[in-house]
Amino acid sequence: MAILFDEKSIKLGHVDGCVFRRMNGKIVMQSMPSQYRDANSPAQQKQRSGMCNILAYYRLLKNIIHGQFAEVGGRTYNNFVSSNLKLDAVELSKEDYKKGYCILAPYIISKGTLPPLEAQVVDNHLEVQIKGEDWQYGDILRFIKVTKKESSDNPFLMVANYDERIIYNAKDQTIVTQELPHGAYAFVHVRCKGEDNTKVSTEHLVIV
C-alpha cells in the first residue's frame, strides 16, 4: 500500500490493477486482489445446506440434549452446531428448513467423560452393552428417538422424544430395544450429582 500526498492529481477509483481511495484523510493506493472468493461456490452452498439440517435437528432436540455438553463448557447450541459442522454435510434446503423438515443424520448429541456406550444396530433393534463397573447407583440410561411424525405422510417431518431408565443395581448386561421404525436413535449414560454437576457419555445418533 502506498500513501499519496498530491490529492489534486488523483481520482478515486481503480486504474490498471490499482485502487485509489481515501483513508484517514489521505489518498492511498492498493493493488487489486488477483482473485475473489465466490460466496456461492458449490462447497459453500453445501455447507449452508448442511447447517440448515443441523439447525433443524437442534430445533427438535434442544430440550432433550440440554446439559449433555455441560462438561465441555459453553452453550449447548454452540457445542451441538460446532461438533456436527465437522461431519460430512447432510443437506437440507433453507425452504425445507422453514417448513419444519429435517433429514436423518448421525449427529453428535452429547460430549462428556463417561465411557461411550457404542450402541449397535442388529436387525432393526438397538443393542447396548452395560458394564457394571462404569455405573453408579442412580445413574440414568437415556434413550433418544428421532422418528417420522405419525400424523403426517411426509417422511421429512420428524418428532423427537426420549425415555429414561434409572439404574439402581448395575451389572454387566446387554440391553436390547424392541424393533424400531426407521429413525435416528441414541443411548446416553447420564450421571447427575447436582444441578451444575452432570456427567454424560459421548454419543451420536445411529440410523435404523
Dist CA 41 CA 47 (whole Å) = 10
Q: How confident is the model at residue 26, as a pLDDT?
A: 73
Q: Is 2 domain-assigned?
A: no
pLDDT, one tens digit per residue, over 184-200 is: 999 999 999 876 789 99
Q: Is 33 domain-assigned?
A: no
Dist CA 51 CA 16 (whole Å) = 40
Q: Is 120 domain-assigned?
A: yes
| Backbone phi, psi, residue 78, to 5° | -60, -40
Query: Can you list the positions of beta strands (E) in the chain?
Result: 2-4, 13-15, 18-23, 26-31, 108-110, 120-122, 125-130, 139-148, 158-167, 173-176, 183-192, 198-200, 203-204, 206-207
Q: Which three cell numbers stand for residue 38?
A: 465466490
Dist CA 181 CA 110 (whole Å) = 23
What's the whole-number mean pLDDT along residues 90-96?
A: 94
Of 208 and 25, the structure prediction assigns the larger pLDDT to 208
Q: Is 8 domain-assigned?
A: no
pTM of the predicted model, to two decimals? Answer: 0.77
CA proximity to 94, closest of 133, 28, 45: 45
pLDDT at 11 exceeding the cut of 60? no
Q: Is 35 domain-assigned?
A: no
Q: Is 148 domain-assigned?
A: yes
Q: Which three cell numbers stand for residue 140?
A: 440414568
pLDDT at 3 exceeding the cut of 80? no
What's the whole-number mean pLDDT along residues 88-109?
A: 95
pLDDT, one tens digit per residue, over 145-168 is: 999 999 888 999 999 999 999 999
Q: How confident is the model at residue 200, as a pLDDT?
A: 97
pLDDT, one tens digit per residue, over 102-145 is: 999 999 999 999 999 989 999 999 999 999 999 999 999 999 99
Q: Is 24 domain-assigned?
A: no
The total number of structural domains that make up the chain: 1
pLDDT at 10 exceeding the cut of 60? no
Alpha carbon separation from 70 to 75, 142, 153, 159 (Å, rounded) = 8, 16, 37, 24
pLDDT, one tens digit per residue, over 25-67 is: 677 677 666 655 556 666 666 666 789 999 999 999 999 999 9
Q: Print the domain residue range for 196.
A: 42-207
Q: Please answer whether residues 76 and 68 qualify as being in contact, where contact means their C-beta atoms are separated by less than 8 angstroms.
A: yes
